[in-house]
Structure formats: C-alpha cells, structure tokens
Amino acid sequence: MSLAGMLSRRATGMGTAPWYRATSLPISTSSTSSKSISSQVRPTTRSSVGARITETRATAARPIAMFSTQLMMTNSTTSNRGLHSSPAKFGKEKNVDATTTAAAGEYARTDDSIQVEYPAESQLPASEPLTGAGGAVGKNRPPTLPTFSLQGKVGVVTGGARGLGLVMGQGMVISGADLAIVDLNKEEASRQAQLIVETFRKENPDSKRVPKVTAHYADVSDAASVEACIAEIIASHGKIDNLVTSAGFTENFEAIAYPIDRMRKLWGVNVDGTYLFATSVARHLMERKSKGSMVFIGSMSGSIVNVPQPQAPYNAAKAAVRHLCASLSVEWAKAGIRVNCISPGYMLTALTQKILDDNPDLKQKWTSLIPQGHMGNPEDLMGPVTFLLSDASSYVTGADLRVDGGYTVT
C-alpha cells in the first residue's frame, strides 16, 4: 500500500492496518521469551474513550498496553489517537486543523501501526559466500597498499553465520586473516566456515596458504558464554588480534507497547554483547601486550531517528554502541588497542529482503531518503571493515564510519 493510501485508510478509520503485520513468531534470539508481543500485551481497560480507541484498533488486532490506554484517556479531550487523519501527538495541538496535520511533518514521523517482530531462524534463508569478491591471489591481482593486508592476524566476528557478519568475515579472510565465526547458530556457522574455505580454495587454486576458519557457539549477551567462547577460540587459533561485533537485531514496535523484557533482550544482545566481547578480547590483548583493532557494528539508527518504522529501543542501543566505542578507544589507546564503529544504513540482507518483500512501499520510502538512491549491499562493508582492522587505519580510533549512502548527512 502506498503511503498516501495508508494515510487515507487512517483517515477513514480503517487506517490501523500495518505495513508490517505483527505475527506470533517466536523471537529466535530470546532464550527467555517465545511469546509474541501481541500475545503479551492486551487492552485491559474499557471505558467510553478507551473502548472507542480499542474498537478502532481492534480490526487489525493491534496490541494496546494498559498504560497506553490510560494515557490516551488522560489526553482524550485533545488527542484521540487512532481517530486522527495523521499520526497524532499527545498533548495539545493549537491552531492546527486536520487538513494541515495531514501534510505537516508527515514524512518525518514514525508510524505506530508498523510492527516488525524479529523472525524465526527458519524464516530466513541461509547466505552463501561471495565469489569473485577480489580474493584471487596471483599475478592478476591488482596492486594495493600492503598496510591493508590482515595477513598473520586472527579475527573474530560475532553474529558471523549470516548477513553482514558473514560477509565482513569473508572480507577479513580474503584480506589474509584467519577467522573465528561466533554465533548462536553454531551449525550454520560451521557450514559457513567450511564454505568460506572452499570458496577461497576455488578462487586461489595455487595458493600455498589456506586460511583457517572455525565456528564457535556463544550467546553474546551472556558473560559466561562469552568467556568460554573466547577461551575456545584462543585454544584453537593461539591468539586473537581483531574483533568485529555484528551480533545484533532490531524490532519495530511503538515504544509504549514494547514490553520491558523484550527491550532488555534487545539491549542485552546489541549493547551487553558488544561490551562483553570487547572487554574479553581487550583483556587477552593486554595480557599478551599486543596491539589490536576492533570494529563495533552500530547503525545509522544510533545517530538519527528512522522513519516511518518506530524502533526507539534499537536506536538507543545503537547510540550506546557508538559511544561505548568512543569511550573504550580512549581507555585502551595506551594499550595500543584501537576501537572504531561502523554505522551501516539500510543494507539488503536476507532479513531486510524478507521484510521488504512483504512491504514494497517501505523500500520506496527508505530509498527516497538515501542520496545514493539505493540500499547498501553487505559487500559494501568489506572494504570499510578491512580498513579499520588493518594498519592502513593505524591513526584512526574512536571513529564512527557511516556506510549509509549519504543518509545521515541530509
């Protein structure tokens, strides 16, 4: 449905159908909760105003938290959310009629009806290693600065079984590193480790060196799991030089309906997971008295507010990742450990592809806001991550490199 179409549905009182529909899928990253938000949050209070709002939304079976209903009742004389012709604000809107609000601010607001729950593992296709990404070693290899090489380094990538983490890991291998792939899904990580080595062999039949690529289980949000994983990697590879923290996920729900346990889970993976892996690798580097380089995968959402999908907890988590990077880069500079952040914009992974297949209007909306006019490909991160891990960036630390097609500069 087009944006205009959606707004007209809202105006006629039918406008509660979300672009994204909430499903009852279990969240694959959550060990504690397999319930959907819709099944956890229900309207519990009915009064004349509350009932009116509930009925308006009931057609699309949208969740309404009890306290949100109460808040709406408190503001009922000035703001009947769900009955407006445009997204309404709590509080008074003086001197503004319905015709004006339909256009004003329309493209710079989140839309509370958009809900996206992180899909189940089984709903996402597995990725394949890239071929022809520049890995061929030999006489036809174009010259490049030797400082970009990761030869002799051991890199770790969390969330490396799929999506951006997998492609960045492959970029590290192509640039000469050995690699430890860490993921909740160890089976897929093992399959990908094997495929990366096979792809390397095919593209480099004459290479004397074959990279060592291993797979390891960890729940990055769990301290004991992280410690065990790091110990396993060191036992297998002998050391760790580089870290990329890509394990993370997002969900889209209006903040007033986002249960606190889900938010804690989201922060646990995105923020605690980054912190736990970074500090554990830093301890190892300090014990070895060795230099190292880390890249945290943040998001442009850590610097801007995405529209129209509401995702306040994710945005705040990614802002935390960015500032954690800055803070640790200062704290660890004296130890020779560099810490940088990459903040991708909208990247076309299996996850985003699935969402956009169901919601083609959303892709149009997103790309209309990107100066380069298209979403990024995962391989667009291969160069930036190699640069930041390698000696080519030896005087770069605490930086946030935005790889977003120019989104955040407009």
Ligand X SMILES: NC(=O)c1ccc[n+]([C@@H]2O[C@H](COP(=O)([O-])OP(=O)(O)OC[C@H]3O[C@@H](n4cnc5c(N)ncnc54)[C@H](O)[C@@H]3O)[C@@H](O)[C@H]2O)c1
Binding site for ligand X (CB under 6 A): 29, 158-159, 161-165, 183-185, 218-221, 246-250, 269, 273, 297, 299, 344, 346-347, 349, 351-352
Q: How far apart are CA 75 and CA 91, in angstroms?
A: 6
In sequence order, what are the residues at sequence separation of 6 or more whose Cβ sits closer than 8 angstroms to the Cβ of residue 271? 317, 320, 321, 324
- 314 annotated active-site: yes
Q: Least Å distance between CB 408 and ligand X? A: 11
For residues 146 and 208, give the distance between their C-alpha atoms in angstroms, rounded to a whole number.
19
Nearer to ligand X (CB atom), residue 135 or residue 163 = 163
Please confirm, yes or no, whether 38 is among the known catalytic residues. no
Q: Which is nearer to ligand X, 309 or 329 (CB)?
A: 309
Q: Which of 20, 109, 119 is nearest to 60 (CA)?
A: 20
- Paired tokens of 294: 């880390």
From 299, 343, 390, 393, the catalytic residue = 299
**Alpha-carbon gap, residue 277 to 141, rounded angstroms:** 35
**Residue 94 known to be catalytic:** no
Q: Length of the chain in residues, anyone? A: 410
Q: Which is nearer to ligand X, 57 or 346 (CB)?
A: 346
Q: In the bound complex, what is the minimum distance in angstroms from residue 180's beta carbon to ligand X? A: 13
Q: Of all helices (H) and strands (E), which one includes residue 148?
A: none
Sequence-ordered list of residues with C-beta below 8 angstroms from that of 76, at least 6 positions apart, any chain: 49
Q: Compute the distance between CA of residue 339 and CA of residue 368 in angstroms, rounded to an integer.
A: 33
CB of 366 to ligand X, least distance (A): 10
Given 20, 258, 275, 314, which residue is catalytic? 314
User: Active site residue: 153, 318, 363, 365, which one?
Assistant: 318
Judged by phi (left if over 0) then psi (alpha if -120 to 50, else beta), residue 138 lies in left
| Residue at 257: amino acid letter | A
Cβ nearer to ligand X, comparing 45 with 303: 303
Choose between 105 and 125: whose C-beta lies nearer to ligand X: 125
Smallest distance from ligand X to CB 263, Å:
15
Contact 137, 115 (CB under 8 A): no
107, 250, 259, 299, 367 from 309: Cα distances, Å: 11, 11, 17, 15, 14
For residues 180 and 243, the answer to whether their CB atoms sit within 8 Å is no
Q: Nearest distance from residue 341's CB to ligand X, in Å? A: 11
Q: 68 or 280, CB closer to ligand X?
A: 280
The residues annotated as belonging to the active site are 299, 314, 318
